[in-house]
């Protein structure tokens, strides 16, 4: 009976040793998997950090370009306004015998892109005299007026 008990104890001990061995192997396998996941996580974190940095730089560039575009637009509008004021002043002076008179209620506009200030029709520009091209009854009949 003692012999049977010792065999059972030995079998049980061998079984426990086998469980320890498989447990140690499982732990080693999990450690490798953990290291692999940790490396993937660090790589993903690094990629996110780099992408986030690039996005910040791009947002800053976009903001800078928008500000430059706004400044150029304001500068262009100021130039158009000054040019319109000069032209209005010159045209008013030329039409008036007594000197320039102020023109109220005229909206200054900027032309569409690509047009020069000399070829762009302006609001309030002088209209042609309607009597210059007036057809009279004599000229319709072919007679001299």
- For tokens 């940790």, the residue is 38
pLDDT at 77 over 70: yes
Residue 106 forms part of a structural domain: no
Question: Cα dihedral angle (94, 97, 102, 108), rounded to 10 degrees?
Answer: -20
Range of the domain at 66: 1-74
Indicate the burial class of 112 (C-beta count within 10 angstroms; 0-12, 13-18, 19 or more). exposed
Instruction: Share the mean pLDDT of the chain.
Output: 79
Residue 99 forms part of a structural domain: no
In the chain, the N- to C-terminal Cα span, in Å, equals 154
Residue 134 forms part of a structural domain: no
**Rg of the chain's alpha carbons, rounded to an integer?**
46
Under the banding of pLDDT at 50, 70 and 90, the label for residue 128 is: low
Quick: pLDDT tens for 7-57: 999 999 999 999 999 999 999 999 999 999 999 999 999 999 999 999 999
Q: Tally the domains of the chain.
A: 1
Report pTM. 0.43
Ramachandran sector of residue 96 (left: φ over 0; alpha: ψ -120 to 50; beta: rest):
beta
Under the banding of pLDDT at 50, 70 and 90, the label for residue 132 is: low
């Amino acid at each position: 009976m003692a012999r049977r008990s010792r065999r059972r104890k030995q079998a049980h001990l061998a079984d426990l040793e086998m469980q320890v061995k498989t447990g140690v192997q499982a732990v080693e396998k999990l450690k490798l998997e953990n290291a692999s996941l940790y490396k993937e996580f660090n790589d993903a974190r690094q990629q996110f950090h780099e992408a986030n940095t690039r996005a910040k730089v791009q947002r800053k560039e976009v903001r800078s370009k928008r500000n430059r575009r706004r400044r150029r637009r304001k500068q262009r509008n100021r130039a158009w306004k000054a040019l319109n004021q000069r032209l209005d002043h010159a045209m008013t002076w030329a039409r008036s015998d007594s000197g320039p008179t102020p023109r109220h209620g005229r909206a200054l506009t900027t032309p569409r892109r690509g047009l020069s200030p000399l070829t762009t029709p302006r609001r309030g520009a002088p209209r042609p005299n309607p009597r210059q091209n007036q057809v009279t009854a004599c000229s319709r009949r072919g007679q001299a007026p």
